[in-house]
């Protein structure tokens, strides 16, 4: 089974050296988050992930969750691990101090989330969903609901879910049938069935708070008639303790390809008592606050699993003796050379590494923007950060889960047949990672969001928050001889991205199917180019320190990315420009 070691040096490098994390203390409310404090949190997070969560990853996958008569039991050791996690304050680190949280910067919390996902993604689903419920309730709930529920969600004694989709509607939430009937006391009676509800039922917490999308009778049709409700598993008594059972039960759990220790439930609501969050018929506004936070978190899931797969593959490639080096024997005293001498093994390992370390830089860039949007005293800076978050959210969700899945597949390939069997634990990363490309809006939907909503918004204002830094960087470094082999490829990729953007904007207005046909390729082109910009920045940081092996590896990985991965942008542009005529002209009956 692969052992996980938190990549703390690389995390610190990205946070401080590349993204200037030391300036977080300049934001109001973050004055105490010095480098010493941030490092202490990272080190403690590494300990609980390496020592408590990771050892349960394989056993949790093998045992899975058990369902019987509406009761769900998590695998052996999960309850004790959750208690340790909660007692350590990890459920509260990213929450408002007004409700018992620690209020850490998003940049720090993102790195902690990555460690949790690397160590045990199934476990991380439980507190992860709770935090999503916290975000929606904190942003849109009444003061009464906040006071009653947020402290319990923050301290982890209660957990939360998001109940969106139904058996017949998938992502098209306007088709939902769950109804909410108003009551004289101001509450609602919720009736309906929700599917694919992560952490909908389990034995980790004393209560579960469901955030449920439903329609109030007589409201507008479709998505404009959707409202959001808080529906607890147990109705709190006068002292705030779990009281009588509400009308919500788990009807079954799904038998899944991966994340088997995370309970994915069918939830039945039968006249369950609930309370409106936000305004009637405005539920999607509140739910999207939760979903956007989850989409960024799902991107980090892909990153975390890729890191674990890479660590396992590197260890195996150094230890496994297989064949002889093409350039001559490297270990004459042994019957074969280690796998790592072979060019194709190095190709796979460096591909993993380039996507992981570039993806980590992108995640922290976005996380720092979240901190700016939340805390910066200048409204203009907050607005600019919000624009940036809007444009990169679909890219982070889709691109980091796509490349994360590619990295887990490469991890198995390095192991060969031994990766395909369960003994080494590598195939679990593939199975666990596959869902990340699907939930919280499948990656194709993220691509449509990028080209259909985010790209044209405010006459391209969102785009400028990414395009301008890249353009300015290329201009500032075009004469820098030390970066010539990086700036050149970056400039070509950026030119392709600009050309693709103009093409999609032009044809999409007249022929929406053309934009839809280009969407996924455009998102990947956007992601690859953005990572090229970040790799150039990392190389610039590391070049003066290239005598140090860590920094030398950074420079070499940046060059590998530019030479071996970034050329995809040429093919992607050709595909985008080819349009969607062939796919849309294909007769339905011919499929």
Tens-digit pLDDT profile for residues 266-276? 999 999 999 99
DSSP characters over 60-103: HHHH--EEETTEEEPPTTHHHHHHHHHHTTTTSTTS-GGGT---
Question: Would you kindly state where each structural domain of the chain is located, as residue ranges?
Answer: 8-67+74-140, 158-282, 451-580
pLDDT on residue 300 = 97
pLDDT on residue 474 = 98
Please list the ranges in the chain whose pLDDT falls under 50: none
Q: Tokens 């705030």 appear where?
A: 240
Q: Provide φ and ψ at 469, rounded to 5°.
A: -60, -40
pLDDT on residue 170 = 66
Q: Convert the pLDDT of each residue in 24-67 to its tens digit.
A: 999 999 999 999 999 999 999 999 999 999 999 999 999 999 99
Which two three-digit tokens encode residue 58? Answer: 């394989």
Residue 451, helix vs strand vs coil: helix
To the query of whether residue 440 is one of the catalytic residues in this protein, the response is yes
- Which residue of the set 307, 440, 514, 540 is catalytic? 440
Q: Do 529 and 494 contact (CB within 8 A), yes or no? A: yes
Among 525, 533, 504, 531, which Cα is nearest to 569's?
Answer: 525
Residue 336, helix vs strand vs coil: coil
Q: Provide φ and ψ at 32, rounded to 5°.
A: -85, -5
pLDDT on residue 173 = 67
Q: Tell me yes or no: is domain 158-282 CATH 2.40.110.20.
A: yes
Q: Do 127 and 83 contact (CB within 8 A), yes or no? A: no
Among 534, 299, 503, 285, which Cα is nearest to 394's?
Answer: 299
- CATH class of this structure's domain 8-67+74-140: mainly alpha
pLDDT on residue 222 = 85
Residue 36, class by beta-carbon neighbours within 10 Å (0-12 exposed, 13-18 middle, 19+ buried)?
exposed
pLDDT on residue 516 = 94
Residue 420, helix vs strand vs coil: helix
DSSP characters over 429-446: HHHHHHGGGTSSS-HHHH
**Beta-carbon contacts of residue 102 (< 8 Å; ≥ 6 apart):** 89, 92, 93, 94, 95
pLDDT on residue 288 = 77
Among 116, 57, 56, which Cα is nearest to 91's?
Answer: 116
Its pTM surpasses 0.75:
yes
Which two three-digit tokens encode residue 85? Answer: 């996690």
Q: Do 206 and 213 contact (CB within 8 A), yes or no? A: no
């Amino acid at each position: 089974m692969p052992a996980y070691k938190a990549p703390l040096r690389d995390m610190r490098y990205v946070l401080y050296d590349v993204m200037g994390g030391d300036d977080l203390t300049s934001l109001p409310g973050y004055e105490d988050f010095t480098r010493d404090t941030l490092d202490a949190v990272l080190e403690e997070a590494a300990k609980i992930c390496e020592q408590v969560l990771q050892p349960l990853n394989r056993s949790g996958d093998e045992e899975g969750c058990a369902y019987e008569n509406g009761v769900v039991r998590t695998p052996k050791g999960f309850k004790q691990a959750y208690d340790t996690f909660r007692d350590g304050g990890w459920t509260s680190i990213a929450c408002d101090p007004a409700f018992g949280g620690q209020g850490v910067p998003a940049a720090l919390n993102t790195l902690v989330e990555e460690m949790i996902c690397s160590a045990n993604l199934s476990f991380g689903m439980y507190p992860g969903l709770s935090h999503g419920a916290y975000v929606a309730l904190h942003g849109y709930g009444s003061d009464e609901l906040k006071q009653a529920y947020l402290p319990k969600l923050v301290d982890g004694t209660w957990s939360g879910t998001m109940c969106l989709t139904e058996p017949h509607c998938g992502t098209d939430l306007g088709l939902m049938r769950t109804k909410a009937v108003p009551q004289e006391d101001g509450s609602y009676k919720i009736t309906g069935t929700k599917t694919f509800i992560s952490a909908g039922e389990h034995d980790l917490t004393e209560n579960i708070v469901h955030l449920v999308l439903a329609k109030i009778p007589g409201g507008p049709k479709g998505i404009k008639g959707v409202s959001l409700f808080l529906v607890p598993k147990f109705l709190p008594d006068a002292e705030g303790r779990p009281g009588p059972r509400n009308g919500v039960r788990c009807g079954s759990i799904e038998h899944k390809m991966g994340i088997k220790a995370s309970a994915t439930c069918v939830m039945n609501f039968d006249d369950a008592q609930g309370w409106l969050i936000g305004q009637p018929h405005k539920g999607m506004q509140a739910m999207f606050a939760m979903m956007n936070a989850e989409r960024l978190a799902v991107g980090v899931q892909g990153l975390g699993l890729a890191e674990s797969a890479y660590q396992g593959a590197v260890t195996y490639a150094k230890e496994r003796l297989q064949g002889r080096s093409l350039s001559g024997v490297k270990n004459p005293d042994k019957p074969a050379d280690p796998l790592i001498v072979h060019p194709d093994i190095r190709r796979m390992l460096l591909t993993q590494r380039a996507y992981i370390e570039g993806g980590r830089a992108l995640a922290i860039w976005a996380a720092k923007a979240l901190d700016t949007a939340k805390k910066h005293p200048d409204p203009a800076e907050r607005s600019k950060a919000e624009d940036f978050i809007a444009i990169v959210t679909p890219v982070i969700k889709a691109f980091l889960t796509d490349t994360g899945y590619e990295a887990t597949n490469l991890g198995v390939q390095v192991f060969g047949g031994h990766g395909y069997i369960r003994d080494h634990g590598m195939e679990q990363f593939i199975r666990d990672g596959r869902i990340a490309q699907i939930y919280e809006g499948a990656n194709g939907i993220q691509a449509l969001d990028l080209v259909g909503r985010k790209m044209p918004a405010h006459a391209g204002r969102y785009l400028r928050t990414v395009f301008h830094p890249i353009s300015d960087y290329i201009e500032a470094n075009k004469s820098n001889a030390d970066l010539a082999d990086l700036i050149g490829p970056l400039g070509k990729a950026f030119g392709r991205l600009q050309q693709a953007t103009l093409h999609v904007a032009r044809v999409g207005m007249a022929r929406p199917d053309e934009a839809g046909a280009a969407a996924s390729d455009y998102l990947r082109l956007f992601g690859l180019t953005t990572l090229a910009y970040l790799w150039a920045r990392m190389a610039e940081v590391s070049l003066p320190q290239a005598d140090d092996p860590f920094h030398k590896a950074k420079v070499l990985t940046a060059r590998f990315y530019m030479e071996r991965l970034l050329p995809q942008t040429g093919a992607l542009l050709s595909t985008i420009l080819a349009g969607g005529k062939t796919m849309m002209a294909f007769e339905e009956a011919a499929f």
